[in-house]
């Protein structure tokens, strides 16, 4: 009973998606002071990695001006006043003080790829490079027992201080025993639970780690779920999308470095600075949506004129993400920009509910009893037809029988 009451309370008090971009003078002055204190504390600490941000930036051909431009853009993305720019720049330099352990579970390494394999490293990626990555199976040189030893040491050494980045879903159903890691055959679930125990916070990157993503798509053979369904009693930050945007990963780490706290989250634990707005509301094709100008088929005149992709199944109207603002690869382009609709990759169950090239009304839904897949409209029309047939039969029967029966009841 009390459990049910708690569930109901949770249902009606969950954090909503409203984004507060101006919290007033006092709030920001106070925050500024706290951030300064935090940064000087970090500066006093020994760096965990010897990489110097400015040397790396110089090697890649970015000068101080580029870096400051990036810092002011990032300050704006984090929804902080522009006076915070120097602090954000300083926080980026101090990112090597925060130890990060990165594990991969049921995934495709797409999020690691997103941050490594851009056409040329951009400042976002470089800044992420200098975080003190203590453990990352795909990137580190050691393997096997050596790698495990390194992990144990990192866990011991940075107890309670490290950020645990998780990429990939966790199988908790029948697939639980199929997915093990390391020589001891530890299941993914146990691995995650052990590593998250002493983490300062857990960051789930990508849609698989946040909501189960592709592994959890119907019929979800392994019983895959996201981090927040497994880890309890720890601050969890979800950065969904397939792959997660490196700009948002930097944003979260920077926020942590800067304030020592996790950013404000919505009810799905996504940082509001990145997931507070719908793609649709900041989409460059929105004018065509309002005008009713749609691409009707791939490559038609509408497509050549950058018309709205709604009828080709764009899910921008039901997807919260900032890709229409920050785009990918340092603002080069993004899915709708290249002429294909949004597939809602940052929403729960995106593979089943969003990723099809039809509008919502033509989406295939499952009957409650499973099995037959019908589109929403087919289902509705089917019910309507059944009613019409029923009425037709009744009307015909009425016409046949009606004449014979007489009024009965009170006057019989």
Partner 1 sequence: MKTKRPFQRVERMTPTMRVIHWVNVVAVVAAVVTGLYIAHPYYQTFMADPAVDKYVMAWNRLVHLFAAITVDITSIWIAYMYASGDRHKPWMKLIPSKNNAVEFFEVVLNIFTFNRRKKFDTTHMDSFNAFWFALLHLLLVFMLLTGLQMYVQGLASGESSIGTWWPWILHVSTDWTLSVFGGNMGVRYVHHLGMWAIVIWTMFHIYVQIWRTIFWQEGDIAIAFGGSKFPKKRREES
x/- track of binding to partner 1 for residues 328-367 (CB under 8 A): ----------------x--xxx---xx----xxxxx-x--
Closest separation between CB of residue 281 and ligand SF4, Å?
A: 8
Say how far apart CA 346 and CA 268 lie, in whole Å.
11
Nearest to 230 by CA among 205, 195, 193, 202: 193
How are beta strands 186-187 and 170-171 bridged, if at all? unpaired
Torsion of CA 121, 127, 132, 136, to 10 degrees: -40
Using the rule CB under 8 A, is 265 a contact of partner 1? no
Say how far apart CA 205 and CA 113 lie, in whole Å.
12
Say how far apart CA 82 and CA 69 lie, in whole Å.
11
Contact 321, 346 (CB under 8 A): yes
For residue 201, report the phi and psi dihedrals to the nearest 5 degrees: -160, 155
CB atoms within 10 A of CB 20: 11
Task: Specify the residue for token string 């899910």.
Answer: 315
Among 70, 84, 188, 289, binds ligand SF4 (CB under 6 A): 289
For residue 189, report the phi and psi dihedrals to the nearest 5 degrees: -65, -45
x/- track of binding to ligand SF4 for residues 237-276 (CB under 6 A): ----------------------------------------
Say how far apart CA 127 and CA 45 lie, in whole Å.
19
Name the segment binding ligand SF4 (CB under 6 A); options: 30-38, 237-245, 308-316, 359-367: 308-316
Using the rule CB under 8 A, is 278 a contact of partner 1? yes
Among 42, 87, 151, 279, binds ligand SF4 (CB under 6 A): 279
- Residue 287: which of ligand SF4, partner 1, none does it interact with, CB under 5 to 8 A by kind? partner 1
H or E element at residue 252: helix 246-259
Q: 326 or 342, CB closer to ligand SF4? A: 342
Among 35, 164, 269, 283, binds ligand SF4 (CB under 6 A): 283
Residue numbers at the binding site for ligand SF4 (CB under 6 A)? 279-280, 283, 285-286, 289, 308-310, 314, 316-317, 336, 341-342
Residue numbers at the binding site for partner 1 (CB under 8 A)? 11-12, 14, 16-21, 267, 276-278, 280-281, 287-294, 296, 301-302, 310-311, 315, 318-320, 344, 347-349, 353-354, 359-363, 365, 376-377, 379-381, 383-384, 387-388, 391, 394-395, 397-398, 401-402, 405-411
């Amino acid at each position: 009973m009390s459990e049910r009451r708690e569930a109901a309370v949770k249902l009606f008090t969950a954090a909503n998606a409203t984004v507060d971009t101006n919290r007033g003078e006092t709030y920001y002055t106070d925050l500024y002071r706290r951030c300064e204190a935090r940064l000087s504390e970090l500066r006093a600490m020994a760096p965990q990695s010897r990489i110097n941000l400015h040397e790396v930036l110089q090697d890649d051909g970015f000068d101080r001006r580029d870096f400051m431009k990036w810092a002011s853009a990032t300050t704006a993305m984090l929804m902080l006043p522009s006076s915070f720019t120097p602090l954000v720049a300083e926080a980026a330099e101090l990112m090597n003080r925060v130890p990060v352990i990165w594990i991969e579970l049921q995934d495709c390494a797409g999020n690691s790829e997103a941050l490594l394999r851009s056409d040329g490293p951009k400042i976002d990626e470089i800044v992420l490079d200098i975080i003190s990555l203590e453990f990352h199976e795909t990137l580190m040189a050691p393997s096997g027992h050596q790698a495990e030893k390194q992990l144990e040491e990192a866990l011991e050494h940075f107890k309670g201080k490290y950020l645990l980045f998780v990429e990939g879903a966790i199988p908790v159903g029948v697939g639980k025993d199929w997915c093990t890691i390391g020589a001891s055959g530890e299941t993914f679930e146990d691995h995650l639970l052990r590593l998250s125990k002493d983490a300062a916070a857990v960051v789930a990157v990508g849609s698989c780690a946040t909501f189960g993503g592709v592994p959890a798509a119907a019929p979800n053979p392994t019983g895959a779920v996201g981090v927040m369904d497994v880890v309890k009693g720890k601050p969890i930050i979800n950065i969904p999308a397939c792959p997660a945007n490196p700009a948002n990963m930097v944003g979260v780490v920077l926020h942590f470095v800067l304030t020592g706290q996790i950013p404000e989250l919505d009810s799905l634990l996504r940082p509001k600075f990145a997931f507070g707005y719908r793609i649709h509301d900041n989409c460059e094709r929105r004018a065509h949506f309002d005008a009713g100008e749609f691409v009707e088929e791939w490559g038609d005149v509408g497509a050549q004129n950058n018309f709205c992709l709604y009828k080709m199944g764009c899910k921008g109207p039901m997807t919260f993400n900032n890709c229409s603002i920050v785009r990918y690869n340092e603002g080069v382009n993004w899915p709708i920009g290249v002429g294909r609709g949004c597939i809602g990759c940052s929403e729960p169950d995106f593979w089943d509910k969003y990723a099809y090239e039809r509008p919502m009304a033509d989406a295939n839904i499952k009957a409650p009893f499973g099995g037959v897949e019908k589109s929403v409209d087919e289902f509705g029309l089917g019910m309507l037809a059944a009613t019409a047939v029923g009425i037709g039969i009744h009307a015909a029967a009425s016409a046949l029988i009606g004449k014979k029966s007489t009024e009965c009841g009170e006057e019989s």
